[in-house]
A and B are shown apart, each in its own frame.
Chain A
Amino acid sequence: MMRASHAQPGFVAALLHRLAGIALAIFLPIHFLALATALNGAAALDSFLQATTHPLVKMSEGVIVVALTLHMALGLRVLSIEFLPIRERTRAAVSICLAAALAVGLVFLLNVD
């Protein structure tokens, strides 16, 4: 059962921040290993990039771009609450962070071939 406190925007912000962070921590080593294929020459990197042209892979990349933007935006929210003399409107802040992340993800998916 969902507790009443779990419906609070601050809880939603913290949960989204964490889930996006976990996704990025899993993705990063794979990303680094993929880039390191360039150690075997441009052709090796090209054959890896060719393998990523599948629509499902592109969609997964879009999800990671959204996670990266969301984690950064929600992280800026945390920094501003902790270090700036402002009184935050959490519901609005979380909405703006989500909107920014989805917008960047959409721009990525519309531009990627």
Chain B
Amino acid sequence: MTPALFILQRATAAVLAFAVTVHLATILYAVRGGLTAGEVLGRTRGSAWFLAFYAVFVLAVSIHAPIGLRNVLREWTPWRGRSLDVALALFAVVLLALGLRAAWAVYR
């Protein structure tokens, strides 16, 4: 792993430690008594705090996950080089786009 990727991986890990803790607490609270669209959207629609939190969460995930997968693939498979980096950069873009779209879907 290059120094830049190492720093990005660890910095996003620190952000995610906070974000995942909040997310897990929200999940455990939200699933009590069943999950309905009304309950979910009632909490999320129009909440700028919610949108900002999940935008940061998604951004951190879309940096953290591809770097982690790159490490795993380089160590466990013979896949190396530019094609691997391009594939994981694409994965990062797809995660970012899908994640922001999901956050927007439950916010608007």
Contact = CB atoms under 8 A, between A and B. Distances in A.
Given A38-B106, A104-B28, A45 B69 contact: no
Interface string A20-54: 01101100110111111111001101100100000
Interface in A63-92: 65, 68-69, 72, 75-76, 78-79, 82-83
Interface residues of B, number: 36
Nearest to A69: B24
B61 interface: yes
How would you classify the secondary structure of chain A's contact residues: helix, strand, loop or mixed? helix
How would you classify the secondary structure of chain B's contact residues: helix, strand, loop or mixed? helix
Contacts of A21: 65, 68-69, 72
A68 B106 contact: no
A111 B36 contact: no
B36 A36 contact: no
Interface string B18-48: 0011011001100111111110110000000
